Amino acid sequence: MPRGQEMDLSFTGGKITEKTLIHLHELKTAALMMAAFECGGVLGQSQEEKVLAQIGQCVGVAFQIRDDLEDVADTEQGKPSILSLMTKEEALNFKQKLLHEALENIHHLSCKKEMLEAFVKQLLE
């Protein structure tokens, strides 16, 4: 996560590619979400840490896209933002794709899924 913050600060006011921005989100928000989902799995004695990590990664990147969409001021201040790389509609579609991928992974879990699914939907919609 510190590497992601360092990258974030280094790109303020500069050019960034979509691939680099997604990587930045993976190092920051997605890393935090992955850890949270994996810890939940460990506490629940799940054997599905890889699937939980994939869910966390999708949720983390999608959450950051949602945050970018809600905070247009970041783009105006030159901070790395999805809106500096694609239209609002494209960003919404990308977020929905990640939400769909997270929900698909949730359906592969062997535990009760309803609460996790509801949490992810509420967080990202």
Number of domains in the chain: 1
What is the Cα gyration radius of the chain? 15
Q: What is the pLDDT of residue 4?
A: 46
Q: What is the pLDDT of residue 84?
A: 85
**pTM of structure:** 0.84
Question: Within the chain, where are the H helices?
Answer: 2-11, 18-27, 29-43, 49-70, 72-76, 88-107, 114-124
Cα dist. 100→4, 17, 66, 93, 125 in Å? 25, 24, 14, 10, 11
Tens digits of per-residue pLDDT, 38-59?
998 888 888 898 999 999 999 9
CA 88 to chain CA mean position, Å: 17
| Least confidently predicted of 75-79, 99-103, 121-125 | 75-79
Residue 30, both tokens: 């997605």
The more confidently predicted of residues 112 and 3 is 112
- pLDDT beyond 90 at 78: no
Domain that holds residue 48: 2-124
What is the domain-level CATH number for residue 68? Answer: 1.10.600.10
Residue 33, both tokens: 């979400």
Residue 90, both tokens: 């494209």
The more confidently predicted of residues 7 and 122 is 122
